[in-house]
Amino acid sequence: MSEKTHPDAVAPERSRTIESNGAKLCLHEWGDPKAPPVVLAHGMFDHSRGFDLLAPHLAEHYCLIAIDARGHGDSDWCDSYVWGMDVLDVVNVLRSIDRPAHLVGHSKGGGQIMEAAAMAPERVRQVVNMDGFGPPDEGFFQRPGGPDLNALTIAERCAIYLDRRRTASARESWRPYESLDDLVRRRREQNPLLEDPWLSYFVFHGAREDEDGWRWKSDPHIAGGGFGPFKPEWIAPGWRRLQAPLLAMIGSLPDTWGPLPEELLDGRLENVEHLSRATVEGAGHFIHMQQPVAAAGLMLDFLDR
């Protein structure tokens, strides 16, 4: 199949790899290499080409460096996946750049860049987190088609978690889908607010065609589940160490994975000393995919201060 295109998407101008903690990470870049750098981190089961709509609006001013997280996109698969290793990967990308950089992250990537910025403050100028503030304190975002974990006991939740880990550990790859359209339909179930033309482009770059059908590029072992340090009593020490100014962005539309209730988000962001906030109208969880022009405008205003 020929490569999918989208009228508003711009493919990376350059690609390279770095070695980080035993894994080869794929980096995609846009913009003048001599311009101020901006490192981009995607969310769970996504990939760096998800920034192809946002990139052209920032690349005139910055050198953008988007990471395929380990186990995602064109980066290496690993034996296991832990939150702290992804954070160290972001730090190692920062170390590979010869000057301080801005950090932009979405969802899981948004939470991880905040920890990376606190870990390597001398390498970070400013931070933009797009709806990466974690799930509710005592519950979960409702996964489409999945069980209501909030209605289950702790023992039942543990059983589901262990079953997922067992199933994932037995997989060598995802099961094949007959066509790319089948993958698009599967992804639409998870992200119903994303439009089909973009989903076709996004899924194409996050999948591969084998002899027996289409498969996701991401490592199925990631599907075993896990969580990040999102409870306020866990994140407070780390976010209080954040020295760089933070722009916290959410969308105005309720979506599968967010945003958090306002009072809960307020409580988490109280731990950030240098804070700006913005809500992007007409966007759900995937702010940079649904409203890339508005998101880029807010970032440019913030990063250019």
Does residue 3 lie in a domain region? no
> Last residue of a domain, which of 223, 257, 286?
223
Which residues span the domain enclosing 177?
149-223
Residue 156: what pLDDT?
77
pTM value > 0.85? yes
Same domain? 247 vs 205? no
Same domain? 20 vs 90? yes
Stretches in the chain below the pLDDT threshold 70: 138-146, 149-150, 161, 164-173, 223-232, 305
Q: What is the DSSP string of 136-197?
A: -TTS-PPPTTS--GGGS-HHHHHHHHHHHHHHHHT-SSPPPBSSHHHHHHHHHHH-TTS-HH
How many domains are there within the chain? 2
Same domain? 172 vs 240? no
Does residue 106 lie in a domain region? yes
Does residue 91 lie in a domain region? yes
Does residue 86 lie in a domain region? yes
Q: What is the CATH number of the domain that holds 238?
A: 3.40.50.1820
Same domain? 128 vs 271? yes
Same domain? 28 vs 68? yes
Same domain? 23 vs 130? yes
> Last residue of a domain, which of 174, 197, 223?
223
Does residue 207 lie in a domain region? yes
Does residue 8 lie in a domain region? no
The answer to whether the beta carbons of residues 45 and 55 sit under 8 Å apart is no
Q: Give residue-wise pLDDT tens across range 150-172.
A: 677 777 777 776 776 666 666 66
Same domain? 132 vs 182? no
Same domain? 198 vs 251? no
> Last residue of a domain, which of 203, 223, 243?
223
CA dist 158 → 83, 141, 145, 228 (Å): 19, 16, 19, 16
Same domain? 88 vs 128? yes
Does residue 167 lie in a domain region? yes
Q: Which residues pair with 64 in a beta bridge?
A: 30, 38
Q: Give residue-wise pLDDT tens across range 50-92.
A: 999 999 999 999 999 999 999 999 999 998 888 999 999 999 9
SS3 at position 276: strand
Residue 231: what pLDDT?
67
